[in-house]
Amino acid sequence: MVTKSAHYTHFLSVDVAADQVVTMSAYYTHFLSVDVAADRVVTMSAYYTHFLSVDAAADRVVTMSAHYTHFLSVDAAADQVVTMSAHYTHFVSVDAAADQVVTMSAYYTLCVCGCGSRSSCDNVGLLYTLCVCGCGSRSICDNVGPLYTLCLDAGSRINWIFPSEPRAPVTWLE
């Protein structure tokens, strides 16, 4: 899953076996501890802590923090996730057959895969190129972007994070 707001973009790698979600962005990395019994996800970073309440009956996830609140509505029939907040709205289309998630917004279009049958995926966006894998056949995945390089091991846990090779400055769209 890829989430984007006016202030940041990050990626969520889900490790079902470890019951852990890892989020990574250019500015921070933090871990989400999933408590299935409490039906709650707690995120912790240097800058904030917030809670995600999962309502399975309503098929909705509500995130709350000091700075924002938004809703993720999941439409299983349409195989689509719609996020809505005061600052943005984007759509995440999930193609199970292609083992691919495509997100579209004003700033980027990218593809995230690797948790199923596909061995690799090229994710090309305006600001970065990212490949996320490790849940399927590949044991190592190199994730190279203009701001960072992220490597995950076979369990989708962070193996190492280090700055990528110097690249041309990123120009944001107005």
Contact residues for 99 (Cβ-Cβ < 8 A; gap 6+): 113, 114, 115, 116, 117, 118, 136
Give the Å distances, CA to CA, from 88 to 1, 45, 91: 16, 22, 10
Per-residue pLDDT 10s for the chain (174 aa) are 444 443 344 444 443 344 344 444 433 333 344 333 443 444 433 333 333 333 334 433 444 333 333 333 333 343 334 443 333 333 344 333 433 334 433 333 333 333 333 333 333 332 223 333 333 333 333 333 333 333 333 333 333 333 333 333 222 222
Q: Where are the domains of the chain?
A: 2-162
Q: What pLDDT score does 174 carry?
A: 23
pTM above 0.75, yes or no: no
What confidence score (pLDDT) does residue 144 get? 34
